[in-house]
């Protein structure tokens, strides 16, 4: 299965930066051709434009109350820099400031010439407080009443329709946290809301090639029961027999069979969401295990069935998480995590600024970023890694190998060649044996990142890895095994001992 690589861009910040760099207003309608070529040259499959939709005017008012909190990411922040949350959507229409629907179409056509798909956001759980659905059919949102509004302070808000009638609506929420006070909670059990979701997604599907669905697990019947079951019972709204996502996805796929559904998902609900129709689901466990240096737990995680892993989205950075260069310290750990993230099965999510070593995590409510120095060494490392994962071996058969302690080892095998990846997941030196598949034993290894040769003998590869060391080896399976002379055997034995004493890659 070919690896699917997604590059996330914070749309409004990116356009702002391009505008300042080029000295003119740039929207999606007029992104310079050289910038599009640079995106095409990255070696990814898709661009995820995060935050392209129209944002909420009410959300801007609310976000301005927290402007002082954004100053850490943007010293000297002004009111004009605050544009409201990208996830408090006022309407699923591309923002005029970003180029509108026409500009979005122009950008999609530009990147398609470079073989790139376009991914956009869909937020199924909530909309902005001033989205048209809030004052629409009562079945669209989870409704409250005056008593709840007054007694459950901050959980519900009050709106007034043009005819003067009052509507009380719940704020959107994750059941484990306080409500998002710039949003309105949609009603996943309502047939009206499900149909409106289908209509919205069918329209979005004419504008892009897939959607990243925010907090997708919140729409599952069990989670809705846990979060809003008490209110549904009060309102007399029955739990539907059918789950939300199969109903929605099946209709959209009926018109766009190739449309991509990617779920932001947690709480061990990734596999159920895959079964409900998602092509890809976030893999936060790999992120956590790499960050926290938990080799045993990571190996268990990577023993999951290959279908699940192929549909997992690996990442070490996105807009919700701190920058990778700050999370994975020192630099060797960052590079090790990137190698594992990009060479295990599944899709890969990469974040604008990750390659150049950006350190500042941006709030999703602002439209400008600070200038930061470019780490050219890191950029070259990612460029090499992106080229590496396009090697034909990564379309082969993947196998997790038995490895000692904190050493992680796995192979990708095709009839002609193989890639062997070995990583020390911790900050302590690791030494041990890796048992290779029969067809790989006794063959020479070439470190593809350093182009240095390393030899091994038999089925057991003995390695001694420095803290956070990760290596990728090419193994040629097409060439016939050579007969080994007595003196060649002696040389291999000596080299193996040198490697054991001084570490893999030693010369002599």
Peptide bond into 330 cis (omega under 30): yes
Q: Are strands 417-424 and 407-413 parallel, antiparallel or unpaired?
A: antiparallel
What is the residue whose two structure tokens read 């803290």?
467
d(CA 310, CA 48) in angstroms, rounded, equals 19
| pLDDT given at position 484 | 42
Q: Are strands 407-413 and 397-400 parallel, antiparallel or unpaired?
A: antiparallel
In 3-state terms, what secondary structure has residue 281?
A: strand
Nearest to 276 by CA among 261, 259, 258: 261
| pLDDT given at position 460 | 81
Peptide bond into 184 cis (omega under 30): no
| pLDDT given at position 306 | 94
Report CA torsion sign: 328, 339, 118, 217: negative
Are residues 472 and 343 in contact, defined by beta-carbon separation less than 8 angstroms?
yes
In 3-state terms, what secondary structure has residue 89?
A: strand
Would you mind telling me the total number of residues written for the chain in this entry? Answer: 508
Which helix (H) or strand (E) is 370 found in, with range?
Answer: none
Nearest to 190 by CA among 129, 273, 145, 247: 247
- Chain centroid to Cα 269, Å, comes to 16
265: DSSP letter? -
d(CA 479, CA 506) in angstroms, rounded, equals 25
Which domains does the chain possess?
5-392 (3.20.20.80), 395-502 (2.60.40.1180)
Nearest to 419 by CA among 489, 483, 340: 340
Nearest to 109 by CA among 9, 207, 248: 207
pLDDT, one tens digit for every residue, the chain (508 residues): 478 999 999 999 999 999 999 999 999 999 999 999 999 999 999 999 999 999 999 999 999 999 999 999 999 999 999 999 999 999 999 999 999 999 999 999 999 999 999 999 999 999 999 999 999 888 899 999 999 999 987 899 999 998 889 999 999 999 999 999 999 999 999 999 999 999 999 999 999 999 999 999 999 999 999 999 999 999 999 999 999 999 999 999 999 999 999 999 999 999 999 999 999 999 999 999 999 999 999 999 999 999 999 999 999 999 999 999 999 999 999 999 999 999 999 999 999 999 999 999 999 999 999 999 999 999 999 999 999 999 999 999 999 999 888 999 999 999 999 999 999 999 999 999 888 888 887 788 888 887 777 666 567 888 899 999 999 999 988 764 444 443 454 455 455 454 555 555 433 3
Burial (Cβ within 10 Å: 0-12, 13-18, ≥19) of residue 371: exposed
| pLDDT given at position 106 | 98
* Number of Cβ within a 10 Å radius of residue 323: 20
Going from the C-alpha of 348 to that of each of 3, 123, 341, 459, 488, the distances in angstroms are: 7, 21, 7, 31, 42
Q: Both ends of the chain: CA-CA distance in Å?
A: 40
d(CA 216, CA 362) in angstroms, rounded, equals 23
**Count of helix runs (H) and strand runs (E) in the chain:** 17, 22
């Amino acid at each position: 299965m070919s690896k699917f690589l997604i590059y996330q861009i914070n749309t409004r910040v990116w356009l702002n930066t391009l505008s300042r760099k080029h000295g003119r207003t740039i929207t999606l309608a007029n992104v310079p051709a050289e910038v599009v070529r640079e995106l095409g040259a990255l070696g990814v499959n898709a661009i995820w434009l995060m935050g392209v939709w129209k944002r909420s005017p009410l959300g801007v008012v609310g976000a301005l109350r927290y402007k002082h909190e954004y100053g850490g990411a943007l010293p000297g922040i002004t009111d004009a820099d605050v544009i409201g949350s990208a996830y408090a959507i006022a309407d699923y229409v591309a923002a005029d400031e970003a180029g509108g629907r026409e500009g979005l179409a122009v950008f999609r056509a530009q990147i398609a010439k470079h073989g790139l798909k376009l991914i956009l956001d869909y937020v199924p759980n909530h909309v902005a407080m001033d989205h048209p659905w809030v004052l629409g059919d009562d079945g669209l949102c989870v409704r409250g009443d005056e008593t709840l509004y007054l007694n459950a302070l901050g959980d519900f808000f009050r709106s007034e329709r043009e005819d003067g009638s009052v509507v009380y609506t719940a704020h959107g929420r994750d059941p484990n946290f306080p409500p998002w006070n710039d949003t309105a909670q949609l009603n996943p059990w309502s047939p009206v809301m499900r149909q409106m979701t289908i209509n919205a997604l069918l329209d979005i599907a004419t504008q892009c090639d897939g959607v990243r669905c925010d907090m997708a697990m919140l729409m599952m019947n069990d989670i809705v029961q846990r979060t809003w079951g008490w209110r549904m019972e009060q309102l007399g709204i029955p739990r539907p027999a059918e789950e939300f996502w199969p109903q929605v996805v099946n209709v959209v796929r009926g018109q766009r069979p190739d449309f991509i559904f990617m779920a932001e998902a947690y709480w061990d609900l990734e596999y159920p969401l895959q079964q409900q129709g998602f092509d890809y689901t976030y893999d936060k466990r790999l992120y956590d295990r790499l960050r926290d240096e938990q080799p045993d737990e990571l190996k268990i995680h990577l023993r999951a069935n290959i279908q699940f892993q192929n549909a997992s989205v690996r990442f070490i950075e996105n807009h919700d998480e701190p920058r990778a260069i700050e999370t994975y310290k020192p630099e060797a750990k960052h590079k090790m995590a990137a190698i594992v993230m990009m060479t295990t099965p599944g899709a890969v999510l990469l974040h604008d600024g990750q390659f150049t070593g950006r350190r500042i995590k941006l709030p999703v409510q602002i439209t400008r970023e600070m200038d930061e120095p470019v780490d050219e060494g890191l950029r070259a490392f990612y460029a090499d890694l992106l080229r590496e994962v396009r090697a034909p071996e990564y379309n082969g058969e993947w196998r997790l190998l038995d490895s000692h302690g904190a050493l992680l080892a796995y192979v990708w095998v095709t009839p002609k060649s193989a890639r062997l990846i070995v990583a020390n997941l911790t900050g302590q030196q690791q030494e041990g044996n890796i048992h290779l598949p029969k067809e790989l034993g006794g063959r020479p290894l070439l470190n593809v990142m350093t182009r240095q040769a390393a030899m091994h003998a038999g089925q057991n590869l003995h390695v001694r890895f420095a803290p956070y060391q990760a290596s990728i080896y090419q193994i040629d399976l097409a060439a016939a095994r050579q007969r080994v002379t007595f003196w060649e055997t002696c040389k291999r034995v000596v080299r193996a001992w040198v490697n054991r004493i001084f570490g893999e890659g030693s010369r002599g």
